[in-house]
Amino acid sequence: MLPGSFVERQRTCGRPNCHCADGKRLHSQFQISVLVDGKPTALSIPAKLVETVRQKIEMRRLIGVAAATICRLNLKRFLQEKETR
């Protein structure tokens, strides 16, 4: 798992004869947007790690969703038990 969110940015590389110079076919750059020591930080992801990082961030997100669902159900259960005693 990895914290933060997965961000895709489009950018030009600055080379005048690159295909991105027309401003339409830009380069994709992938980043992790995450708090490091409490500060919002954007970390660029090397191309070979993009898929792994994407999956690890998604895993963290899904576990967060699952934990929130469990908490909601348990709170409901707690409130019901509290009333019936």
11 binds Zn ion (CB under 5 A): no
Instruction: For residues 79 and 85, give the distance between their C-alpha atoms in angstroms, rounded to a whole number.
Output: 10
- The answer to whether 20 contacts Zn ion (rule: CB under 5 A) is yes
Report the DSSP pairing between strands 39-44 and 5-11: unpaired
Nearest-approach distance from CB 8 to Zn ion, in angstroms = 16
Half-sphere exposure of 11 (CA within 13 A, CB side): 10
Choose the stretch contacting Zn ion; rule: CB under 5 A; options: 6-14, 28-36, 47-55, 57-65: 6-14
Among 18, 63, 66, 67, binds Zn ion (CB under 5 A): 18
Q: Is 28 in the site for Zn ion (CB under 5 A)?
A: no
* Count of CB atoms situated within 10 Å of the CB of 84: 6
Instruction: Tell me the window of 11-19, 36-44, 48-56, 64-72 that interacts with Zn ion (CB under 5 A).
Output: 11-19
Q: How far is the CB of 72 from Zn ion (least distance, A)?
A: 47
Closest CA to 56 of 32, 40, 37, 39: 32
